[in-house]
Amino acid sequence: MTVSFFDKLQKQKDGIQLFHQYEDQINDLTSKLNILSEEILTNEQALQKEAKDVEQLTGKSVQSLYHRIRGNYDSQLKKEMQERHEAELQLDFKKQELERLQLDIQNLQKEQSLYYDCQRNYDQLFQDRLKELISNNPPNPNTKELLLGLQSDVDTAISQKKELEEAIRAGERVGVSLNQAYDHLKSASNWGTFDIFGGGLITDIAKHSKIDDARSSLAKAQRELRAFHTELADVSMNISISIDIGSFTTFADYFFDDIFSSISVKSKITDAQNNVSTAIKQVRSTLILLERSKLEKNEHLETTLEQIKDIVIHSD
C-alpha cells in the first residue's frame, strides 16, 4: 500500500507536536528540580545547625552546663536530638524526590529523542514536494504557475519588509539625535533667560556652550535625516523635515551685552526649539506609518506562505 505525501507529512507533524509536548514537560520538571535543589541546600544548612546544637549539649559547653544546672539537661538533649532527626528525615525525603525528578527528566528526554528529527524530516519532505511541483516537468502545470506566482510575492514581501526595517532603524537614529539637540537647546534657553536678567560673562559662556552642543547634535541629526530620506525613498515614502537653529553671533553677545541682544538670542533659541520639536513630531508620525506598513507586509507574507503550504500539503 502506497503512503500518500499528506500521510507522510502528517506523521512528521504529529512527531513535532509530541516533541514539543515532551519539551514542555521537561521544562516543568526542570523548574521543580531547581526549586527543590534550593530547598535541599536550605535543609542541609538547617541540619548542620541542629547537629551543632546536639554537639554543644553533649560536649563541654556553656549550653550543656546551663541545662545541667537547671536540671532539664535530658529533656533538652532529647528535644535537640528529635529536631536533628526530623531535619535528617526531611532532607532524605527531598533528596529522594530530587532523584525521582532527575530520573523522570531522563526518561522524558529519552522519549523525546525519538522525535528529534521530525522537524527536519517535515521540512525536507515539504521542500522536496515543492521542488517537484515547480520543476521543469511538474505533475500539474497550473499548480506550478500558481506556486511560482506566490513565491514571487513572498520574495517581494521579504525584500520590502527588509527595506522597511532599515527605514525604521534610520528614523529611530534621527529621533535620538533630535531629542539630544532639543535637550541642549532647552538648556541654552534656560541660560538665555538668566542672561536677560544680567547673568554676565559666565552666563554668556555657558549659554554659547549649550548652543554649540545643540549645533553639534543638529549636524548629526541632519546627517541621519539624509540617510533617513534615502531609506524612505526605497519604500516609496517622501517627507520633508528640515532643522535649523539659525545663526548665533557669539561675539555680539560678548561685546554688546545688553537686554536687547540677549532677548534676540533667546528668541532665536526658542525658534530653534520649536523647529526641532516639529521635526521630532514628523519623525514620530513617519515611524508610525512605517511600523504600520511593516505589520501589513508581515500579514501579507504570512498569508502567502500559508497559501503555498496549503497547496503543497494537498497536492496529492
Judgement on whether residues 73 and 149 belong to the same structural domain of the protein: no
In a domain, 57, yes or no: yes
Rounded CA-CA distance 12/19 in Å is: 10
Say yes or no: 176 and 292 in one domain: yes
pLDDT tier for residue 196 given thresholds of 50, 70 and 90: very low
Dihedral (CA of 227, 228, 231, 232) sign:
negative
Residue 253 lies in a domain: yes
Q: Are residues 112 and 147 in the same domain?
A: no
User: What CATH number is associated with residue 175?
Assistant: 1.20.1330.10
Q: What pLDDT is attached to residue 261?
A: 44
pLDDT of residue 249: 33
Residue 154 sits in the same domain as residue 288: yes
Using the 3D structure, point to which of 100, 116, 132 is the last residue of a domain. 116
**What percent of the chain is modeled with pLDDT above 90?**
42
pLDDT number for residue 226: 86
pLDDT of 25 over the 90 cut: yes
d(CA 40, CA 36) in angstroms, rounded, equals: 6
Q: Would residue 136 count as lying in a domain?
A: no
The reply to whether 162 and 221 lie within a common domain is yes
Judgement on whether residues 171 and 29 belong to the same structural domain of the protein: no
CA–CA separation, 187 vs 169, rounded Å?
28
91 and 200 share one domain: no
Owning domain of residue 57:
12-116
Q: Is the dihedral of CA 95, 99, 104, 109 positive or negative?
A: positive
Number of domains composing the chain = 2
Tens digits of residue pLDDT in 113-128: 999 999 999 999 999 9
Contact 18, 24 (CB under 8 A): no
Within a domain: 129? no
Instruction: Write down which residue in 82, 116, 150 finishes a domain.
Output: 116
The answer to the question of residue 7 being in a domain is no
For the chain, counts of helices (H) and of strands (E): 8, 0
In a domain, residue 134? The reply is no
Question: 44 and 180: one domain?
Answer: no
Does residue 130 sit within a domain? no
> Do 239 and 200 have their domain in common?
yes
| pLDDT tens, residue by residue, 241-287 | 655 544 433 333 433 344 434 555 667 777 778 888 888 988 999 99
- pTM to 2 decimal places: 0.64
Q: Are residues 54 and 191 in the same domain?
A: no
Give a yes or no: residue 126 inside a domain: no
For residues 242 and 105, membership in a common domain is answered with: no
- What tens digit of pLDDT does each residue of 242-254 get? 555 444 333 334 3
If asked whether residues 48 and 145 sit together in one domain, one would say no
- Residue 181: count of CB within 10 angstroms of its CB: 28
Rounded Cα distance, 264 and 105, in Å = 76
Q: Comparing 75 with 132, which gets the higher pLDDT? A: 132
Per residue in 168-189, pLDDT tens? 999 999 999 889 888 888 877 6
